Amino acid sequence: MADSATAGTRGRGGFGRGRGGRGGRGRGRRGEEKNEWVPVTKLGRLVKANKIKSIEEIYLFSLPIKEYQIIDYFLPKLKDEVMKIMPVQKQTTAGQRTRFKAFVVIGDENGHVGLGVKCSKEVATAIRGAIILAKLAIIPVRRGYWGTNLGEPHTVPCKVTGRCGSVLTRLIPAPRGTGLVASMAAKRVLQLAGIEDCYTASSGSTRTLGNTVKALFAAIGNTYAFLTPDLWEETEFSKGPYQEFTDFLSQKARK
């Protein structure tokens, strides 16, 4: 009886344990598959084959990034910050449908920053999606000096403005050692962008945090939109990656 009872217990209780064991092995396999990136775009194939050496080459030719693994490849030390999670509702015939909207900022604190906004039924899914969108939207940050150009660039190169909705945000260069004179949310975004000293001025409904962060992101993006005299040198045109490595791309496609 004891043997039969033990066998019965193994049959019922052991089902969960056995399933867990298989699940554990399965999770391991999935993890391995997840770590191995199989690119599906031409840019991804060039990056994985080490034909493109840095993310600056992608920015130089304004190539659209469609795979977030490209960003992980070039910028492995990215930090992310969830700026806000807000519930949004839609009126349906069955009542109200509530979803969650996540605002996530990522950056390496060294001249690269991205903003992602994602809406989903669950908070965790919204944050995950926002991180991926932030990686795809990552931009270079141009930094400069206030006064003499000694040491590393520490502030914005000139006064820049960004706008979203009624919120207007202005970034103003500051002397070295000033720090970030900004709100808590704006300060975190500027830290992730790698800006050490900066004054900020904003107007409009700044308590709408989503629009405030978007306006700040637009202002940071405008640092490279302003053509300063040190960028007046004659441009030397070269072949784009797709044109330069066309033979490599065609060979891969045939295989």
pLDDT tens across 153-171, in order? 999 999 999 999 999 999 9
CB 104 within 8 A of CB 214: no
| Residue 14, pLDDT score | 47
Task: Look at residues 204, 183, 186 and name the one whose alpha carbon lies nearest to residue 195.
Answer: 186
Nearest to 201 by CA among 165, 164, 161: 161
- Whether the predicted pLDDT of 2 surpasses 60: no
Structure-block tokens of residue 84: 């806000």
d(CA 226, CA 231): 10
pLDDT digits (tens, 9 = 90+) for 214-250: 999 999 999 999 888 888 888 888 889 999 899 888 8
pLDDT at 194 over 80: yes
Give tens-digit pLDDT for 54-89: 999 999 999 999 999 999 999 999 999 999 999 999
The pLDDT score that the predictor gives to residue 174 is 96
How many CB atoms neighbour CB 213 within 10 A?
24
In this predicted structure, what is the pLDDT of residue 76? 92
pLDDT value, residue 4: 52
Higher pLDDT, residue 221 or 251: 221
| Section 92-101 average pLDDT | 94
Taking the C-alpha atoms of residue 145 and residue 50, their distance in angstroms, rounded to an integer, is 34
Q: What is the mean pLDDT of residues 171-176?
A: 96
Cβ neighbourhood burial of 232 (10 Å; 0-12, 13-18, 19+): exposed
Using DSSP bridges, classify how beta strands 167-173 and 160-164 pair: parallel, antiparallel or unpaired.
antiparallel
The per-residue pLDDT for range 15-26, each reduced to its tens digit, is 444 444 444 454
Distance CA 207, CA 157 (A): 27
Q: Name the DSSP letter for residue 198.
A: E
- What is each CA distance from 98 to 129, 175, 209, in whole angstroms? 17, 46, 20
- Residue 111: is it exposed, middle or buried by C-beta count within 10 angstroms (0-12/13-18/19+)? middle
For 151, other C-beta atoms within 10 Å of its C-beta total: 8
On average, the pLDDT of the chain sits at 87
| Predicted structure pTM score | 0.82
